[in-house]
Amino acid sequence: MLDLCVLARLRSGEAYGYELAKWLEAAGFGEIKGGTLYPLLNRLERDRLVTTVWRMNDQGPDRKYYRITDRGQSELAAAGEAWSDFASVAESILGKESM
């Protein structure tokens, strides 16, 4: 699910790794370590769900920005539908009282 949440965040615009980590933390995932986030971002890039561009930063090291691709948009839409179906079934089952 973390992959999908990152893609969903990138739907609203590009972001660099630390920015994504802070967004995920604020969204309720808790602290996301670089050892979790950067392999995930590398996998998304390898699968052509995101593209990257390096940008100069006058106040520190250059930053690698991530942007969702059309393929990433399609994957996000399909996975979002699957998640919605799953959540409906799970809620239906969990909402029933024990016999």
Q: Can you give the CATH number for the domain in which 81 is found?
A: 1.10.10.10
Q: Between the CA of residue 75 and those of 10, 33, 79, 80, 91, what are the distances in Å? A: 13, 25, 6, 8, 24
* pLDDT band, very low/low/confident/very high, at 97 (cuts 50, 70, 90): low
What is the pLDDT confidence band of residue 98, given thresholds at 50, 70 and 90?
Answer: low
Q: Residue 28 belongs to what domain range?
A: 2-95
Give the number of domains in the chain.
Answer: 1
With b for 16 or more beta-carbon neighbours within 10 A and e for fewer, the 11-40 pattern comes to: eeebbbbeebbebbeeeeeeebeeeebeeb
pLDDT at 89 over 80: yes
At residue 58, the pLDDT reads 85
**11-63 residue pLDDT tens:** 999 999 999 999 999 999 999 999 999 999 999 999 999 999 999 988 888 99
Q: State pTM to two decimals.
A: 0.84
Helix (H/G/I), strand (E/B), else coil: 15: strand
